[in-house]
Amino acid sequence: MDRDDETLARIAQSLRDRRVELGLSQSELAERLGLTQAYLSKLETAGATTQLRRLVAVLGAVGLDLVALPRTHPAVREERSRPLAPVHRKATPSDELRRALQRLDLSRVSDPEAAARFAALRDVLADGSGEGQESPRARNLVRSLRSLAQSDEALSLVDPSVRAVLLALRDAEPHR
């Protein structure tokens, strides 16, 4: 293994270690960065090396080490003392549904059974799911409700407060 390969391996390991340290899955970090999870995986295993190899070679030619460079920069030393700021992510359909349900006044839902179901739905969406995160259960729920919201007939049959929730979900931008 030549020096550049060792550097690439250290960069890849550092990236993976930092992601794990932050408690992020590859999918979560990739989504935040606008990358595919597969590409991030390649970066973490030094598999996506063409551009990185060029950067390492250029830095090496001028006597710099990409791995050591950030540690010695004053701004990075200052950054280490500050907590990592949260990355703002685009709202998911579950977020839109969660917000619509939070705005819903359950006391105004005329059908007590529907009100109870909406309360349960709120709990499902709130359970272990932060802003910008979707559980598989929430995704399936949103998909089913969005499909229902596309039906004008279904919208005409539901309680007005339920219709407001479905319309908010229908009008929300679909998530990839």
Which residues does 44 contact at the CB level (< 8 Å), separation at least 6? 12, 15, 16, 19, 26
User: Which stretch of 92-96, 126-130, 137-141 has the lowest confidence by average pLDDT?
Assistant: 126-130
pTM above 0.85, yes or no: no
pLDDT digits (tens, 9 = 90+) for 20-51: 888 888 888 888 878 788 888 888 887 766 66
Query: Is the distance from CB of 39 to CB of 30 less than 8 angstroms?
Result: yes
Mean pLDDT, rounded, for 52-72: 67
pLDDT over 70 at 87, yes or no? no
